[in-house]
Amino acid sequence: MAKLCVNVDHIATVREARKTVEPDPVAAAILSELAGAHGITIHLREDRRHIQERDLRIMREVVKTKLNLEMAATREIIDIALAVTPDQVTLVPEKRQEITTEGGLDVLSQEGYLKGVVREFKNANIPVSIFIDPDMEQLKSARKTEADCVEINTGKYSEAKTEMETDTEFNKVEAAVLFAFKSGFIVHAGHGLTYRNVKRIAALKEISELNIGHNIIARAVIVGIERAVREMLYIINQSRISP
């Protein structure tokens, strides 16, 4: 079964809507773990729109599974990450105007720079994942950075409107997952996944980890986070038993 890392950014989004202290993403992280999540993912954005440095520091202390920090490969955030030492970092592109991460990192155009960043984290014993579109040239370039993992972007698959478009985007994800696995990467996937579309992706046995945020938190608002996490885990689990 693919492991599930729950992204709790949007608990912090609700808190920051009022610039107050509740709800606390740390509480969401603890409850997600108690419900069976294999890891917690947070994105410390340069504009600090949701997760704050305080959240990262406390989660480093209290998360007992795996803390995955999504981050832009900028000097400020790299230094914070090296000081806090999450269990894994995932390098993502970041634009201030975007609502959420819009696409994979363009590795090709900054391969040398990223190789240096990967080396800095590896010297600190922090494994590095790179969020990447299902694009073979980007994957080949990512290989040269010596990153340990790639997270294949499922955003286009998730946003597809028709069955045909969904199949086309799924085929791209599947091909990228197989290519990445054969290239020696540990393969993760995520972005836009929901209770309705996750099964096909989770059934790909080369994927060892899924990062899911918005749809779990959306359900959690209604049914509670422990139930929302358990329901997602159930679907992921079932995907390889009865695809």
Give residues in contact with ligand PXP (CB under 6 A).
7, 9, 43, 70, 90, 92, 100-101, 131, 151, 190-193, 211-215
Establish whether 10 is a catalytic residue.
Answer: no
Which of 15, 191 has the CB closer to ligand PXP?
Answer: 191
Least distance between ligand PXP and beta carbon 164 (Å): 23
Cα–Cα distance, 106 to 231 (Å, whole number):
34
Which of 68, 141 has the CB closer to ligand PXP?
Answer: 68
Establish whether 33 is a catalytic residue.
Answer: no
Per annotation, catalytic residue among 43, 94, 151, 169: 43
Which of 145, 215 has the CB closer to ligand PXP?
Answer: 215
Rounded to the nearest 10 degrees, how much is the dihedral formed by the CA atoms of 41, 184, 3, 55?
-10
- For the record, the structure tokens of 112 come out as 């040398």
The DSSP secondary structure of 91-159, one letter per residue, reads E----TT-SS--S----GGGHHHHHHHHHHHHHTT--EEEEE-S-HHHHHHHHHTT-SEEEEE-HHHHH
Least distance between ligand PXP and beta carbon 190 (Å): 3
Comparing every residue's Cβ against ligand PXP, the nearest one is 213
Per annotation, catalytic residue among 10, 33, 50, 70: 70
Q: Can you list the positions of beta strands (E) in the chain?
A: 3-7, 39-43, 67-71, 88-91, 128-132, 149-153, 186-190, 207-212
Per annotation, catalytic residue among 10, 38, 50, 191: 191
Least distance between ligand PXP and beta carbon 151 (Å): 5
Establish whether 191 is a catalytic residue.
Answer: yes
Which residue numbers are catalytic?
Answer: 43, 70, 191
